[in-house]
């Protein structure tokens, strides 16, 4: 198995919960997520990609949300599919995604279009649809409502886990 690679706009802050570097993971810093041509040599020979870039749609227009959710994802996926047609591509989507592409909810419709486009590419694609992603290790959501929900739900989950713990 080849070493996996992470891609970022800036180097990871190792003080925010990243305990140690892993020998099979190499960090690549990419300044422009709309142009991967300068790093194609570093993207060959890969077995898998776990693609988890995303933003909250709260307060975004459909055009802006599509630019991040669809355009960046497909830009990366098309390059990876061309260079690694036998790779596995795992896309972190979201529970409630609308694969019909005709629903009322903007974010679900755009996520559905993104998933469908990924499934048409030559690699093996899987969609991961978590119901919630909770930030950990001191990382905070930029969306105020999410921060409040995380605090309330976190307390409830800890309480329930304590109550239902096996003897």
pLDDT of residue 20: 55
Taking the model in full, what pTM does it have? Answer: 0.74
The CATH code that applies to domain 4-133 is 3.40.50.720
In tens, the pLDDT along 17-76 reads 455 566 667 677 788 888 888 889 889 988 999 998 888 898 899 999 999 999 999 999
Q: Among candidates 82, 14, 18, 4, which has minimal Cα distance to 48?
A: 4
Q: What are phi and psi of 29, to 5 degrees?
A: -100, 125
Query: With 80 as the cut, is the pLDDT of residue 108 above it?
Result: yes
Alpha-carbon distance 145 to 158, whole Å?
20
H/E run at residue 26: strand 25-29
Domain boundaries along the sequence of the chain:
4-133, 134-167
**What's the pLDDT at 68?**
95
- Please give the pLDDT value at position 11: 52
pLDDT value at position 3?
Answer: 39
Residue 84: what are its φ and ψ, rounded to 5°? Answer: -140, 65
Tokens of 107: 């974010």
Of the pLDDT bands very low, low, confident and very high (cuts 50, 70, 90), residue 119 is very high
Q: How many CB atoms lie within 10 A of CB 100?
A: 10
Burial class from Cβ neighbours inside 10 Å (0-12, 13-18, 19+) for residue 125 reads: buried
Q: For the chain, what is the mean pLDDT?
A: 82
Average pLDDT over residues 110-120: 98
pLDDT of residue 86: 96
Contact 67/82 with Cβ under 8 angstroms?
no
pLDDT band at residue 148 using 50, 70 and 90 as cut-offs: confident
Q: Which of 50, 9, 58, 51 is closest to 31 using CA atoms?
A: 9
CB 49 within 8 A of CB 89: yes
pLDDT in tens, 120-131: 999 999 999 988
Helix (H, G, I), strand (E, B) or coil at 88: strand
């Amino acid at each position: 198995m080849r070493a996996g690679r992470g891609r970022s706009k800036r180097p990871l802050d190792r003080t925010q919960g990243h305990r140690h570097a892993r020998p099979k993971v190499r960090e690549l810093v990419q300044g422009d997520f709309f142009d991967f041509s300068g790093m194609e040599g570093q993207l060959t020979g890969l077995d898998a990609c776990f693609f988890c870039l995303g933003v909250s749609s709260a307060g975004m227009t459909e055009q802006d949300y599509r630019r991040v959710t669809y355009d960046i994802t497909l830009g990366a996926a098309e390059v990876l599919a061309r260079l690694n047609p036998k790779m596995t591509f795992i896309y972190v989507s979201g529970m409630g995604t609308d694969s019909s592409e005709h629903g009322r909810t903007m974010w679900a419709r755009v996520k559905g279009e993104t998933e469908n486009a990924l499934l048409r590419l030559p690699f093996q694609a899987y969609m991961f649809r978590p119901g919630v992603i909770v930030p950990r290790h001191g990382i905070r959501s930029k969306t105020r409502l999410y921060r409040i929900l995380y605090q309330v739900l976190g307390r409830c989950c800890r309480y329930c886990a304590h109550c239902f713990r096996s003897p």
